[in-house]
């Protein structure tokens, strides 16, 4: 990589930022395509967010990914925000264009593109269950509602969060969305009759944690999607595979959400396989 006065800058802001694997993924794609870009991680504490955004404008940065804790607090600095990002209430990608800053959220389309890559269909007009009611669950419920899923059950340990998320997104989309607890007697039937079950609860990261749902409830041939990517094949996915469900892990979503941002900044479709290998390499280094 040769940096010159013409090299275009993209990057990521967060606090902390040291752990981010995005620089490896994006710089691998930049190198493979021979583009004159560099992707730089910037450590930006909350108090400096406004100054950092102004600085990026001043030095003609092309695009910035946004991670914790700035995904919501960056919104007041933006000139435009996509419908998806507005519904999700969080932005993970900034595009600097002709003096304006546009905010998008690529988690939702990344989630859907990873399914499409595996030839798995979103159940348009059908039903889905989303386990968890945190930040990523919100993005996924928005993705599913905008993609035409008719009924979405959100189930969560803290019932009030599932109910609040369902009420908010029911009002703002055409989907019929309801929230219940993990111990609700309606959950086995909701899972058994849904074409798509998505886990967003972080308990999947802990291989010793008991499963949040009983795999016996899963219907064969339904799709079980666990967005957790460490480990790449979670215990839920192993149990679902034994029930002859179609299974998909979170690595594809992670790669696709990055690839969508890359394409928006450079106008070039990045090589997904190179990004995937770079991500794997970054995991192996940890
Ligand atoms: N593949 C990707 O690209 C991608 C993108 C985003 C996130 N992720 C992964 O998705 C996971 C969730 O991320 P997030 O941002 O949504 O996190 P979050 O906002 O902190 O939400 C965490 C969720 O997990 C639930 N949970 C945590 N501990 C639990 C327990 N002991 N029992 C039952 N439920 C529990 C929480 O329930 P309560 O509300 O009851 O606390 C909440 O619903 C993380 O592992 C993250 O790495 C993957």
Provide the residue count of the chain.
286
Do 157 and 179 form a contact (C-beta atoms < 8 A)?
A: no
Q: Do domains 8-105+257-285 and 109-249 have the same CATH topology?
A: yes
Residue 285 clears pLDDT 80, i.e. is over it: no
Whether the pLDDT of residue 1 is over 90: the answer is no
Provide DSSP, the chain: ----TT-EEEEEEESS-TT--HHHHHHHHHHHHT-SEEEEEEE--GGGHHHHHHHHHHTT--EEEE-TT-TTTTGGG-SEE-HHHHHHT---EEEEETTEEEEE--HHHHHHHHHHHTT----TTSEEEEE--SHHHHHHHHHHHHTT--EEEEEESSHHHHHHHHHHHHHHSSSEEEEEETT-TTHHHHHHT-SEEEE--GGGG-TTSPPSS-GGGPPTT-EEEE---SSSS-HHHHHHHHTT-EEE-SHHHHHHHHHHHHHHHHSS---HHHHHHHHHHHHHH-
Tell me the β-bridge partners of 155: 131, 180
What number does the ligand 1 atom closest to the CA of 157 have? 40
Residue-level pLDDT at 165: 97
What pLDDT was estimated at residue 286?
Answer: 64
Architecture of domain 109-249: 3-Layer(aba) Sandwich (3.40)
Least confident range of 19-23, 49-53, 180-184? 19-23
Residue 146 binned pLDDT confidence (cut-offs 50, 70, 90): very high
Residue range 14-33, pLDDT digits in tens: 999 998 999 999 999 999 99
Residue 209 CA, closest ligand 1 atom number: 31
* 38 Cα: distance to centroid of ligand 1 (angstroms): 31
pLDDT for 40 equals 98
Give the model's confidence band at 7: pLDDT under 50 very low, under 70 low, under 90 confident, else very high: very high
Whether the pLDDT of residue 129 is over 80: the answer is yes
Instruction: Specify the pLDDT at position 212.
Output: 98
Ligand 1 pocket test, pick from 106, 136, 257, 259 with the greatest ligand atom count within 8 Å of Cβ, gives 136
pLDDT digits (tens, 9 = 90+) for 201-219: 999 999 999 999 999 999 9
CATH topology of domain 8-105+257-285: Rossmann fold (3.40.50)
For 92-112, how does the pLDDT look when each residue is reduced to its tens digit (9 = 90+)? 999 999 999 999 999 999 999
The residues assigned a catalytic role are 71
User: Domain coordinates of the chain in residue numbers?
Assistant: 8-105+257-285, 109-249
Spatial strand order in the sheet of 127-131: 176-181, 151-156, 127-131, 196-199, 223-226, 246-248
Q: What's the mean pLDDT when you consider all of the chain?
A: 96
Checking if the pLDDT of 58 tops 90, the result is yes
57 alpha carbon to ligand 1 midpoint, in Å?
33
- In the chain, what is the straight-line distance between the N-terminal and C-terminal CA atoms, in Å? 24
pLDDT digits (tens, 9 = 90+) for 243-265: 999 999 999 999 999 999 999 99
């Amino acid at each position: 990589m040769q940096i010159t006065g013409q090299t275009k800058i993209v990057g990521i802001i967060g606090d902390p930022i040291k752990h981010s694997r995005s620089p490896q993924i994006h710089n691998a794609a930049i190198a493979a395509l021979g583009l004159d870009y560099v992707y730089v991680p910037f450590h930006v504490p909350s108090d400096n967010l406004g100054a950092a955004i102004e600085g990026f404008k001043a030095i003609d940065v092309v695009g910035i990914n946004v991670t914790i804790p700035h995904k919501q607090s960056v919104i007041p600095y933006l000139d435009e925000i996509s419908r998806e990002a507005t519904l999700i209430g969080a932005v993970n990608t900034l595009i600097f264009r002709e003096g304006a800053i546009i905010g998008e959220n690529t988690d939702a389309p990344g989630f859907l593109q990873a399914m499409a890559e595996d030839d798995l269909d979103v159940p348009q007009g059908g039903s889905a269950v989303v386990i968890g009611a945190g930040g990523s669950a919100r993005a996924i419920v928005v993705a599913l509602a905008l993609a035409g899923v008719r009924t979405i059950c959100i189930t969560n340990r803290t019932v009030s969060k599932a109910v609040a998320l369902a009420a908010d997104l029911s009002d703002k989309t055409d989907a019929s969305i309801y929230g219940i607890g993990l111990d609700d007697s309606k959950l086995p039937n909701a899972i058994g009759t849904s074409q798509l079950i998505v886990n967003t609860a972080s308990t999947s990261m802990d291989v010793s944690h008991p499963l949040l749902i009983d795999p016996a409830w899963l219907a064969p041939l339904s799709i079980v999607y666990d967005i957790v990517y460490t480990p790449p094949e979670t215990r839920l996915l192993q149990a679902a595979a034994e029930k002859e469900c179609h299974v998909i892990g979170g690595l594809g979503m992670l790669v696709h959400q990055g690839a969508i941002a890359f394409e928006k900044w450079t106008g070039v479709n990045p090589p997904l396989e190179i990004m995937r290998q770079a991500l794997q390499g970054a995991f192996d280094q940890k």
